[in-house]
Structure 1
Amino acid sequence: MIKGFKEFLLRGNVIDLAVAVVVGAAFSAIVKAFTDSIIQPLINSVGGTDQAQGLGFLIRNGQANTFVDFGTLITAALNFIIIAAVVYFVIVMPFEKLKALRAKQGDDAAALTEAELLTEIRDLIAQQGSGTTSPGPKHEQ
């Protein structure tokens, strides 16, 4: 049971995932700071006259705790879109292209090996048919 867990951890996917989580958390903090300090004030400037409240409305006048803040929601949505776009374009797309390239190279190598084997078989059959006793090139496995 412990051996299986160790193999699972050392397989590589878990390590890649751990690195991605750490990098994602660090990048998320940068994007959050950007949206909180630059985007949020811009959105708040569109809203009412009170800069502390920003874009939204009060459910009950005079009670600040009843303020529905659309600016924070818009900022969070922009935060998500920025992080998702960066993760997709910087991590996912290159990784998928790399996977496709490796798969293509693996297919080409397998096809080349198969073609070489078929050539050797053809040469051996031709030699046997002509009565030549010298064997063709050997294929090592």
Structure 2
Amino acid sequence: MFQGFKEFITRGNVLDLAVAVVIGAAFSGVISGLVEGFIMPLVGWLVGAPDFSGIAFSVPNWRGDTTEFPIGLFIQGLIMFVLIASAIYLFVILPIKKLQSLRKTTEEVVEEAAAEEVVLLTEIRDLLRAQSGAHSPSQTS
């Protein structure tokens, strides 16, 4: 029983998943700090304080009281989601894609140069074979 548990825990997939969860939690703090420390103040500076949590509507219930629906909390959460998603895209995904495209172009140039060299070497080999085949002693006799 303990051996099976040990094998399960030390599998690569489980360890990779554990590392991903820890890194994701740390990265979440970074992105939240970026949104709360930079993007939300920037939005507040541009359009005013973006606080929608006070928006609500009331509906009478069956007891004669009213039930309040704080729809502003949903709106605030939705705006935060859009801002966090855009922050991740603009400050993480786009720079990484740019770096990958720069690295890929240099790798492609090296591969294209190697492919051209292979074609040239193949042509030289074929010419040498043709020349050695035309001047072989068995054909000149």
2:55 aligns to what? 55
Equivalent runs, 1:1-141 vs 2, <5 Å: 5-6=11-12, 9=15, 18-28=22-32, 31=35, 34=40, 38-40=49-51, 43=52, 54-60=54-60, 66-130=67-131
1:50 aligns to what? none
Classify the secondary structure of the residue corresponding to 2:60.
Answer: coil
Give percent identity, aligned residues only.
17
TM-fit CA distance, 1:102: 3.1
Cα separation, 1, equivalents of 2:100 and 2:110 = 15
Cα separation, 1, equivalents of 2:120 and 2:9 = 44
Highest CA radius of gyration, 1 or 2? 2
TM-fit CA distance, 1:26: 4.1
TM-score (norm 1): 0.57
TM-fit CA distance, 1:116: 1.0
Runs of 5+ unmatched residues, structure 2: 1-6, 42-48, 133-141
Q: 1:71 to 1:29 in 2, by over 3 A?
A: farther
Cα separation, 1, equivalents of 2:102 and 2:18 = 23
TM-fit CA distance, 1:85: 0.3
CA RMSD of aligned residues (A): 4.0
- 1:57 is matched by which residue type in structure 2? F
Cα separation, 1, equivalents of 2:75 and 2:10 = 45
Q: 1:113 to 1:8 in 2, by over 3 A?
A: farther
Greater RCO structure (CA 8 Å; 6+ sep): 2
Q: Is the 8 A contact 1:32 1:79 kept in 2?
A: no
Aligned residues: 116
TM-fit CA distance, 1:79: 0.5
Classify the secondary structure of the residue corresponding to 1:82.
Answer: helix
TM-score (norm 2): 0.57
